[in-house]
Amino acid sequence: MSRLLLAWVFALMSVVGIAGVASAQEAANAPAATAQQTAVKPAPSVDAPQEPSPEERAETKRKLWIGGIAVLLFVLVYYRNKKRWTAWRKERAAKKK
């Protein structure tokens, strides 16, 4: 099965590659319109800060605390429900006997 899938993907890539080359050659022979000049936008700053600002660090710390509390609450609810489920199953098994 995997060999068939691999052969199919290879064939599909070959067809797309050949069609892409054919369309690129056709486009090269077509007359091209001249491009209009546009205003140059300023480039992004190359000297970007490597460390986050104190505000960003405080926000990250707050999000980590909230995430940790959420995980802790999930674990507590999970174990409570697990205990209740086990007790319910034992009680149900005892009633059947």
**pLDDT on residue 35:** 64
Q: How far is CA 11 from CA 7, 15, 24, 84, 86, in A?
A: 6, 6, 20, 56, 55
Q: What is the span of the domain harbouring residue 66? A: 53-97
In a domain, residue 18? The reply is no
Higher-pLDDT residue of 3 and 77 is 77
Amino acid at 80: R
**pLDDT on residue 88:** 94
**pLDDT on residue 27:** 57
- Count the domains in the chain: 1
**pLDDT on residue 85:** 95
Listed residue (61, 65, 45) closest to 53, CA to CA? 61
In a domain, residue 61? The reply is yes
pLDDT tens string 16-74:
666 555 555 555 566 666 667 777 777 777 776 678 888 999 999 999 999 999 999 99
Query: How far is it, in rounded angstroms, from Cα 6 to Cα 4?
Result: 5
Indicate the pTM of the whole model: 0.44
In a domain, residue 41? The reply is no
**pLDDT on residue 39:** 76
